[in-house]
Structure 1
Amino acid sequence: MGICDMHCHLLPEIDDGYLSREQFIRMLNLYQLSGVTAIAFTPHIYNPYVTTNVSKLRETYEWAKKESQALGIKTYLGSELYVGEQETLKTVPIDGRFALVEFGLSLPPPRLLERLQQLTEMHYRPLIAHVERYLWLNPKSAMLQRLRSLGCLLQTNVEAVESGLSLPYLELGLIDVIATDNHGDETLPARLMDAIEKWPSVGRSMQNLW
């Protein structure tokens, strides 16, 4: 398999991507031109700051899947699960295998390891979104090592690669996935490929996931 963008918010009118269907089709063409071969659509769920139109999710995804297939782009429906204080974690896993998760920025959620264990017991592998954002999860923290021991994968955003924010994680070989977290920025597909070219070891890791 080629390169999959495993984190984006591009489904039209579903969450805070706010793309129209026309903008979505234009974006698909840019992904194809950039050489991205697969996209996982990961709208927010349980995020207290984002309203997600869950009732239209499946219908909109099926439309997006057909448009993508016409361009030779494989698609997956997933979600970006906000892990707050909910007792049971429910997610839409990417390809039935990867559970993209996000957290509050300043402090870890209660009983984090115990609750992520719920996902692994469902045979989902947690993929921590934009790991560089969490103030409590620096590259050498004990918590990060525990998360790695649990089998968690780490994702960084293209913008963090470009700015150097994720450099400490990259230099230690901790990043498994670079993704766009695209909310409608047409420059991101090409920038994703540029970031992967600069960090080929991550590109190999991404391909090996499939």
Structure 2
Amino acid sequence: MALCDFHCHLLPLIDDGYVTKERFSRMLQLYLENGITSIAFTPHIYNPYVSTNIADLRHTFAWAQGEAAKQGITTYLGSELYVGDQEHLACVPIAGKYALLEFGLSLPPARLLGRIAALASQGLVPILAHVERYRWLEPESTMLSELLKLGCLLQTNVEAVENGDSLPYLKRDLIDLVATDNHGDETLPLRLVQCLNAWPAVYEKMETLL
């Protein structure tokens, strides 16, 4: 079965990922060995805590895409958009369709529902990155219910499946994707597959996305 990692920071020298160009090919090989045949590179944008080398983003992705193609891996350029106080949300959508979004941990951004609705009106599907982190987006919260009505998908990280942080969402069948959020950890491709084998319903959802 084909599998995509929808969330990672593996483009060398772009944001806070720590994979070098020399290690990049090795990382791709590990993905392929574990049956992961496509990867979405999602560098941070507008994150106040992370510096992103926007100037080299397209060039570096083109290089990475070429390296991945040599191993038979399909790649997508996306972004992980930090939703702060910007009036309009602009991102690099994965496969031209999916907008990966992250937020502050303690409180929702102002006017969030309206801005998500505007994003969805452009034909984009919002994905809420590592949903388990946000204290204001608990499984039974009103805000989460409203975001789901707008068509948002929920992504959880591998480590959150492993340590139980995402279990409340998984038990309610709320999770649509498990992803690595990989910054350079060579163990994560295997662990992603193990998590999805443990939660086959999520695996089935992911297969329909691309």
- Per the normalisation by structure 2, the TM-score is 0.99
Residue 115 of structure 1 corresponds to which residue in structure 2? 115
Residue 99 of structure 1 corresponds to which residue in structure 2? 99
CA distance in 1, matches of 2:7, 2:13: 17
SS of the aligned residue for 2:25 comes to: helix
Residue 149 of structure 2 corresponds to which residue in structure 1? 149
CA distance in 1, matches of 2:18, 2:116: 30
Counterpart code for 1:48 = P
Residue 57 of structure 1 corresponds to which residue in structure 2? 57
CA distance in 1, matches of 2:75, 2:119: 22
CA distance in 1, matches of 2:104, 2:182: 19
Residue 39 of structure 1 corresponds to which residue in structure 2? 39
Is 2:170 the partner of 1:187?
Answer: no
CA distance in 2, matches of 1:59, 1:140: 43
Shift of 1:37: 0.8
CA distance in 2, matches of 1:18, 1:209: 28
Residue 125 of structure 2 corresponds to which residue in structure 1? 125
Residue 198 of structure 1 corresponds to which residue in structure 2? 198
Is 2:5 the partner of 1:5?
Answer: yes
Residues 43-82 of structure 1: CA deviation (Å, up to 9, x unaligned): 0000000000000000000000011111111100000000
CA distance in 2, matches of 1:118, 1:4: 27
SS of the aligned residue for 1:36 comes to: coil
Which range moves more in the overlay, 167-176 or 115-124? 115-124
CA distance in 1, matches of 2:137, 2:104: 11
Shift of 1:185: 0.4
Shift of 1:88: 1.2
Is 2:177 the partner of 1:177?
Answer: yes
Structure 1 runs not aligned, ≥5 long: none
Kindly report which structure 2 residues correspond to 1:84-95, keeping only aligned pairs within 5 A, or say none.
Answer: 84-95=84-95
Shift of 1:18: 2.5
State percent identity of aligned pairs. Answer: 62
Kindly report which structure 2 residues correspond to 1:76-87, keeping only aligned pairs within 5 A, or say none.
Answer: 76-87=76-87
Shift of 1:117: 1.2
Give 4+ residue runs of structure 1 displaced > 4 Å after superposition: none
Counterpart code for 2:87 = E
Which range moves more in the overlay, 129-138 or 21-30? 21-30
Residues 154-207 of structure 1: CA deviation (Å, up to 9, x unaligned): 000000000010000000000000000000000000000000000000000000
RMSD of aligned Cα (Å): 0.7
Structure 2 runs not aligned, ≥5 long: none
Is 2:21 the partner of 1:21?
Answer: yes
Residue 164 of structure 1 corresponds to which residue in structure 2? 164
Residues 14-41 of structure 1: CA deviation (Å, up to 9, x unaligned): 0000221011111101101111010000
